[in-house]
Every structure is written in structure tokens, then in C-alpha cells.
Amino acid sequence: MAKYDEQFKFKVAREGAQGTAGLREIASRYGLDHSMVRRWVDSYREHGRAGLAKKYSRYDAPFKQRVLQRMRDEGLSRRRAATLFGIRSPGIIGVWQRQYDQGDLGALTPACERKPRMPLKKSTDPALKPDEELTRGELLKELAYLRAETAYLKKLDALIQEEQAATRAKKRKPSKD
């Protein structure tokens, strides 16, 4: 997706807001999609030049709920709600709707706030113990594992070599001398 600077967006949105030409005509003049021009014009009309500025923000759950509630109460489209609330991408509102429908308000909380970090568990992996501290059973278990791993790697190597030999044989063509 192409990024356009604020000055360019302002120029296009101002032209569209003046109404001297249709949005499709303006879009084709600048090589843009008409829906993008329409979003810029709507945002410019609602928020002025600030509506076209880059915006980096995370929306909290109460904000998302206000947006969805107003959409329900007033029958707003996602595009109109995005314009009113200064949300740059109307598509994100659809994501919020699906999250809300699936899991109520808790689903609207950003994932970084929702998921507590798991505490690190102390590993009981025998491989982390020094060899002298391992019991006979642990040593036998590790030996069996290593033997199985070695057998697996040998078999894998044999299959790879077999495949390479077959590929070489196919590439070689008998000469017609």
C-alpha cells in the first residue's frame, strides 16, 4: 500500500472538498482509488488538516466500545465511524466488531494488556545437569534418546544421498555417438 505525505493528501482533500470536480475524476487525475480520496475528503471535512496527519496510536477497550456503541445507536457505517473518531483505517473497526461478538469487552483489550507473561519454570531436563549428578536411569534414558537420534540422522542422510543420486542419474543422458 502506497504512503502519501500529508501535503499531498491535503491538496487532494481540499480539491475534493471544494466540489469543483467529482471524486472519481480527482482520483483518476492523481492515479488514486476513489474510495481513498473519499476517505481523505471526509476526514478533512470532519477534522481539518489534522485529520490527514499520520497517527500512531493504540485504542483502549473503552474507546473501542464507544465506537461500536455509537455505530449501533446511530446506524453508522464503519467508514463514517472511522471518520468521526479519527481512526485511519475503517477495516480495524470490523476486527473490533468480530472480537466483541466472540468474546465481549475483554476481547477488545489489546493483546499486550490481556496476556500476562508466563513465569519461567525451572527445567528438570536431565541434559542440564552435570553428568556426575545423573542417576543410572537418567543416563540410560539419555543414551537411548541419543541412539535413536543418531539412527534417525543416518537414515535421513541416506535418503538425501539416494535422492541426489537419482537426480544426477536423470540429468545424465546417454550420448548418441
What pLDDT does 22 receive? 87
The answer to whether the pTM exceeds 0.75 is no
CB atoms within 10 A of CB 82: 23
Contact 27, 36 (CB under 8 A): yes
Q: What is the pLDDT of residues 73-125, one digit of tens each?
A: 999 888 888 888 888 778 888 888 888 887 765 666 666 555 555 665 555 56
Contact 12, 25 (CB under 8 A): no
What pLDDT does 124 receive? 57
What pLDDT does 107 receive? 61
User: Which grid coordinates are listed for 96?
Assistant: 473490533
What pLDDT does 63 receive? 86
- Burial class (CB within 10 angstroms; exposed 0-12, middle 13-18, buried 19+) of 8: middle
Q: Is the pLDDT of residue 177 over 90?
A: no
Average pLDDT over residues 50-54: 75
51 vs 85 pLDDT, higher one? 85
Q: What is the pLDDT of residues 119-168, one digit of tens each?
A: 655 555 656 778 888 889 999 999 999 999 999 999 999 999 999 998 88
Contacts for 158-166 with beta carbons within 8 Å, 24 or more apart? none
Q: How many residues are recorded in the chain?
A: 177
Q: What is the pLDDT of residues 3-34, one digit of tens each?
A: 788 888 888 888 888 888 888 888 888 888 88
SS3 of residue 112 by DSSP: helix
User: Could you tell me the pLDDT band of residue 1, with boundaries at 50, 70 and 90?
Assistant: very low
